[in-house]
Chain A
Amino acid sequence: MGRPAPAHRVEFELPDGRTRAVRVREDEHVLGAARRAGLVLPSLCEQGWDLACAVRVLQGELDHGDARRYYAEDERAGFALICTAKARSDLRLCTHQAAAMRRHRDARELPAPRGT
């Protein structure tokens, strides 16, 4: 059996002001790990396309390689789609950022669904 993938501490800042920390392995998506820990976060396509699961990255690094539609501008602006993002360091994430990420995409004339 191979060694387990390294894990990182991921702290979620929730809209009600609470924070919740979970361990996320490098070989799993952040949303899946959060869900396994009992944290219910918004999501829809779960393929890194729509913005339902958007977060703002307050601290740390993610791998966005599994996302189906994610732009360099998104990363520069500090947004991530955690349904397909993998932790590459300890992280602090602000959840429920779909509307903010859509405004960011609109400002840069980048495509985004409108209903999430």
Chain B
Amino acid sequence: MAGSEKPHAKGKVASGDVTQRVGVEAIEARGVDADQLVEKLIDAAGAEFTTYYYYTILRMYLAGEEDYKEICEDARLEDRAHFELIAPRIFELGGTIPYDIRTFVDRAGCPDAYLPGTGDASGDGASRDVVVADATPAAILEVLLEAERCAIRTWSEICDLTFGKDPRTYDMAARILNEEVEHEAWFIELLSKERDGVARPSGHFRRGEPGDAPYSKNRGFYNP
């Protein structure tokens, strides 16, 4: 009967074949190199994960700067939320995060956000006083700012790669990018005032609760 054909009911993936994914086939048909995308997502997940880890230290050393500490905590928890958002998408696309965490952090797409004075782990053997002296609020805010900038570049690239081709990854990347742009604006505002005495407002300031993640968590599309 004319009109009874359902063009989306069948494709290259055979019925019952669980070794192939139509969700991957569909984005490849639209021009996405799914293998390359998975590699980029793993690099990006590694960067979010290491940032979360290092921000834990940076936040601690903002001792006495309670306003900075609060903002750093928002960014820290939101970066963790980003990792939580990316990991399922990697598996959905047929990939996996590395089985060894050392492999994972080594391939992170952005630099380690070391506490100033501890770069390249050299601070592990330094006296605590030396470390604290280098870790001024301005120095810490600069580390935070540059980490956010690397994240913006990363997620902008993934948005470019997936726009109009892979709406699910694009949606995820755009949510994360929204928050990274906000984080950059926060740290510009704080660093500019702390270091230069110049007001460069972010245009926004506080979350409802620490690590609120209004784009990447509160409207999540999966249930972790």
Contact = CB atoms under 8 A, between A and B. Distances in A.
Contacts of B150: 45-47, 49
A114 interface: yes
Contact of A114 (B43, B112, B146, B149): B43
Contact of B43 (A68, A69, A115): A115
B42 A115 contact: yes
B154 A44 contact: yes
A102 to B, nearest CB: 10
Contacts of B42: 114-115
A114 B39 CA distance: 6
B157 A44 contact: yes
Contacts, number: 53
B110 A49 contact: yes
Interface stretch (B101-109, B169-177, B188-196, B211-219): B101-109
Nearest to A43: B153
Q: Which of A46, A112, A114 has the most CB of B within 10 A?
A: A114
A43 to B, nearest CB: 8
A50 B43 contact: yes
Given A44-B153, A50-B43, A113 B109 contact: yes
- Chain A interface main SS type: loop
A114 B43 CA distance: 7
Interface string A95-116: 0000000000000000111111
B106 A45 contact: no
Given A44-B109, A50-B110, A115 B153 contact: no
B111 A114 contact: no
Nearest to B109: A113
B111 A113 contact: no
B111 A115 contact: no
A49 B39 contact: no
Given A44-B157, A45-B153, A116-B43, A111 B107 contact: yes
Contacts of A48: 111
Interface in A42-75: 43-50, 68-69
Contact of B111 (A43, A47, A112): A47
Contacts of B153: 43-46
A112 B107 contact: yes
Q: Which of A49, A113, A116 has the most CB of B within 10 A?
A: A113
Interface of A: 43-50, 68-69, 111-116
The 4 residue pairs across chains A and B that have the minimum distance between CB atoms: A115-B40, A111-B106, A115-B39, A68-B111
11 contacts: A43-B153, A44-B153, A45-B111, A45-B153, A46-B150, A47-B150, A68-B111, A112-B107, A114-B39, A114-B43, A115-B39
